[in-house]
């Protein structure tokens, strides 16, 4: 199978378009979108993600306000910072990098972000708008990873209407909003999870399979329908035997080598969904900026 979905290439196309749009907005309004990036502590993976997001934001012309806070910061002080950013005119999007230290309530912090500055699209109000909107409204701040998955599907130029889509995972960040987006594309959607019986057979009936469960290579060849489209959201760090040598490797929730023998199209890990998540974060920041202009 040669139909590997190149997330890097598609994300770059989205970023190139955003750069042009932001430059046009800059010429018209004499200002650019602003993104506040809040990181608490120095978890290595978080630092890598923050660096990538910051670099991409600057590339498309978004101004970045970087807040790298001590891991022992109190919940109260973090809330005060977010409240300050909520009313700062130069900030259009607020991103709080997860995970947060255990003494901080993540849900409380994310809910403190003003909905119209919610760059991740996690706020309950934005999730509610996604649920009740009849179309994929371009003014709605949609969770970045699910929207990135949808854009990857659209790039395949396949009619999604009536297709049976199975989403493995029911998280608020990926699984549930992914299902909502697929419903808006007129797919027939099933959400599978750890309590689903006969999950292998259910997945094998899917025309579109979205794996977002966080278990390395759980999806095997016999889980995949012949010529299905497979989107792998998982990012798992494991040790793997590569030509007789044990190496640290990043793998998805799908066994890539097996899946490519059956799937019509398949995202790799890394280089599939990940770059799209960042691009959609920038998209949300641009939308927040446009909304602020009325």
Q: How far apart are CA 290 and CA 101, in angstroms?
A: 33
Q: What is the pLDDT along the chain (294 residues), one digit of tens a residue?
A: 468 999 999 999 999 999 999 999 999 999 999 999 999 998 888 999 999 999 999 999 999 999 999 999 999 999 999 999 999 999 999 999 999 999 999 999 999 999 999 999 999 999 999 988 765 667 889 999 999 999 999 999 899 999 999 999 999 999 999 999 999 999 999 999 989 999 999 999 999 999 999 999 999 999 999 999 999 999 998 887 777 888 888 999 999 999 999 999 999 999 999 999 999 999 999 999 999 997
The alpha carbon torsion through 182, 146, 169, 123 (nearest 10 deg) reads -110
Both tokens assigned to 225: 């329908």
CATH code that applies to domain 30-114:
3.40.50.10860
pLDDT, residue 139, reads 82
Work out the angle at residue 24's Cα, subtended by the Cα atoms of residues 19 and 27, and round it to the nearest 5 degrees: 125
pLDDT, residue 135, reads 59
Inter-residue contact 179 to 189 (CB < 8 Å): yes
Catalytic positions, written as ranges = 53, 97, 120
Q: What are the sequence ranges of the domains in the chain?
A: 30-114, 143-274
Can you identify the CATH homologous superfamily of domain 143-274?
Answer: NAD(P)-binding Rossmann-like Domain (3.40.50.720)
The answer to whether the 30-114 and 143-274 domains have the same CATH topology is yes
Q: How far apart are CA 65 and CA 74, in angstroms?
A: 20
pLDDT, residue 244, reads 82
pLDDT, residue 138, reads 73
Closest to 53 in 3D by CA, of 69, 37, 34:
37
């Amino acid at each position: 199978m040669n139909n590997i979905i190149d997330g890097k290439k598609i994300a770059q196309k989205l970023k190139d378009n955003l750069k042009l749009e932001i430059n046009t907005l800059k010429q018209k309004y004499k200002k650019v979108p602003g993104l506040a990036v809040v990181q608490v502590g120095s978890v290595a993976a978080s630092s890598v993600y923050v660096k990538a997001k910051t670099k991409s934001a600057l590339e498309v012309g978004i101004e970045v306000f970087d807040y790298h806070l001590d891991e022992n910061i109190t919940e109260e002080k973090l809330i005060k910072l977010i409240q300050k950013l909520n009313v700062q005119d130069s900030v259009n999007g607020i991103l709080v990098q997860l995970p947060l230290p255990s003494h901080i309530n993540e849900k409380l912090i994310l809910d403190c972000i003003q909905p119209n500055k919610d760059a991740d699209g996690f706020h309950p109000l934005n999730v509610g708008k996604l649920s009740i909107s009849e179309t994929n409204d371009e003014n709605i701040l949609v969770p970045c990873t699910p929207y990135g998955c949808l854009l990857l599907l659209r790039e395949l130029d396949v009619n999604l209407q009536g297709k049976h889509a199975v989403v493995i995972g029911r998280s608020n960040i990926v699984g549930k909003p992914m299902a909502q987006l697929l419903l808006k594309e007129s797919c027939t959607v099933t959400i599978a999870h750890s309590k689903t019986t006969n999950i292998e057979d259910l997945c094998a009936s899917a025309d579109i399979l979205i794996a977002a469960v966080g278990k390395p290579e759980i999806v095997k060849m016999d889980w995949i329908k012949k010529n299905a489209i497979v989107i792998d959201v998982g990012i798992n760090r494991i040790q793997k035997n590569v030509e007789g040598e044990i190496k640290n490797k990043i793998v998805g929730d799908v066994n890539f080598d097996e899946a490519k023998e059956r799937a019509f199209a398949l995202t790799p890990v890394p280089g599939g969904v990940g770059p799209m998540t960042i691009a959609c974060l920038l998209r949300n920041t641009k939308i927040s900026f446009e909304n602020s202009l009325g």
